[in-house]
Structure 1
Amino acid sequence: MSRQIPHCTIDGPSGVGKGTAAKWLATQLGWHLLDSGAMYRVAGIAAEQAGVPVDDPAAVADIVRRMKVRFEGDSTTDHIALEGRDITADVREESAAMLASRIAVFPEVRDALLHAQRAFLQPPGLVADGRDMGSVVFPEAPLKIFLDASAEERARRRCRQLRQAGMPAILADVLTDIRARDARDRGRKVAPLKAAEDAVIIDTTELTVDAVCDRIFSLVKDSGLTSVVS
């Protein structure tokens, strides 16, 4: 991985606002954006559509290596096609998030996706959003950020997102799903969800989206990665 290309990682559990912050930052800087969560969701959907058991790591990894995915738009989640079929809406479903969390525990699947993720590191720069971007995928990133928030606040945010998208959401159920996903992500043996040792940790529980973005942009400027001023 080249240190010559400026890049920043933003990690954290679901519902902390890392996706929103990463897309905003990439837009401000004119850099590429890697939404690694979207890649895992696509992988889970691809395995399910192929009739492959998601608890069979070798089979899922094989699907990941062979799947034909196309990302279009200003971010990796603007438009996503799998084998030529638009699956953008499917990727945003909560069921896709759960599939992603289930397959992400397998080393074989993570290895299969690693090369594809690192290929996003291209000029003029990259903002990488995920759970192990700073700790595993881009360990040499000049700036690593880890966002966190209470499970309760993250569940409330997710409920709002689902309802705004016209989907039903029960807070208690969403909270249960988030806690279960946290347990899987933090407890897996390979690339568990955790802040890199040199990451800047930001608790977003009491922060607005604008406040989080401002804090991140200040960190980027202070790091010397860019001379962009807003």
Structure 2
Amino acid sequence: MSHQIAIDGPAGAGKSTIAKIVAGKLGFIYVDTGAMYRTMALYLSRQNVDPDNMEEIGEKAQSAEITIKYIDGEQVVMLGEENVNGLIRNPEVSAMASKTSQVARLREKLVELQQKLAQTENVVMDGRDIGTVVLPNADLKIYLTASVEVRAQRRYKEMIAKGQEAVLSEIEKDIAERDYRDMHREASPLKQADDAILVDTSEMSIEEVADKIIELYNTK
């Protein structure tokens, strides 16, 4: 029987970083659902799909071939035969993913793949609707959050460290707008599952958050 940890929360809360650490320490597989949605967004961008045309998005999404491979313990997201890990973290793809992920038919296709993975492997999965939709029976559900200001500061530091141009006020505005879209979308809006444990990371280090989640899992 496989075991599942679901981590949900808004953009910039540190879900991916924390999920990777927790998975590594427990020997679980980390499934970055956000990377799958970004990969779909990259595919749709290449197809010149109108991000406001919900019907076209849902239709085109059906022909996308998105798979996950593990190489030396690292998740590699494949679009067809192409490794797109290095192409799905730019602002344009992020914006496209935030819009297109609202389309129900697109979400259904990706959720099916995510659930198949979780049926056969011990997984830590993070996203926006893992505990509410993808893994409703997960062993442990975490809702990870932090203030908009803290999340923007983290994203700003990441971008500067990578040599990218960044304006803190613009990042704060973008995160606030994305929160609103994620929480008010029609398909699987971002919300805390009834049985999820709230973990606010605003005043915690990455290691403290990871250790807290592992402690919660072990007590389960």
Measure, in 2, the Cα distance between the counterparts of 1:11 and 1:170. Answer: 27
After TM superposition, give the deviation of residue 204 of structure 1 in Å.
0.5
> What is aligned with 2:49?
52
> What is aligned with 1:6?
3
Identify unmatched segments of 5+ residues in structure 2.
Answer: none
Measure, in 2, the Cα distance between the counterparts of 1:169 and 1:205. Answer: 21
Measure, in 2, the Cα distance between the counterparts of 1:8 and 1:152. Answer: 27
Measure, in 2, the Cα distance between the counterparts of 1:190 and 1:176. Answer: 23
Name the Cα RMSD after superposition: 1.5
Measure, in 2, the Cα distance between the counterparts of 1:80 and 1:190. Answer: 24
Among 101, 116, 119, the alignment partner of 2:116 is 119
Among 168, 173, 190, the alignment partner of 1:176 is 173
Among 121, 130, 133, the alignment partner of 1:133 is 130
Measure, in 1, the Cα distance between the counterparts of 2:126 and 2:213. Answer: 13
CA separation of 1:70 and 1:190: change in aligned 2, threshold 3 A? closer
**Is the CA contact 1:38–1:91 (under 8 Å) kept in the aligned structure 2?**
yes
Measure, in 1, the Cα distance between the counterparts of 2:58 and 2:141. Answer: 28
Percent identity of the aligned residues? 33
> What is aligned with 1:149?
146
After TM superposition, give the deviation of residue 124 of structure 1 in Å.
4.4
**Is the CA contact 2:57–2:103 (under 8 Å) kept in the aligned structure 1?**
no
User: Alignment length, in residue pairs?
Assistant: 218
Measure, in 2, the Cα distance between the counterparts of 1:92 and 1:123. Answer: 28
**Is the CA contact 2:23–2:30 (under 8 Å) kept in the aligned structure 1?**
yes
After TM superposition, give the deviation of residue 122 of structure 1 in Å.
4.2
> What is aligned with 1:190?
187
After TM superposition, give the deviation of residue 24 of structure 1 in Å.
0.7
Q: Secondary structure at the match of 2:92?
A: helix
Q: Secondary structure at the match of 1:91?
A: coil
Q: Which amino acid aligns with 2:12?
A: G
**Is the CA contact 2:5–2:123 (under 8 Å) kept in the aligned structure 1?**
yes
Identify unmatched segments of 5+ residues in structure 1.
Answer: 224-230
> What is aligned with 1:22?
19
Measure, in 2, the Cα distance between the counterparts of 1:119 and 1:70. Answer: 12
**Is the CA contact 1:8–1:144 (under 8 Å) kept in the aligned structure 2?**
yes
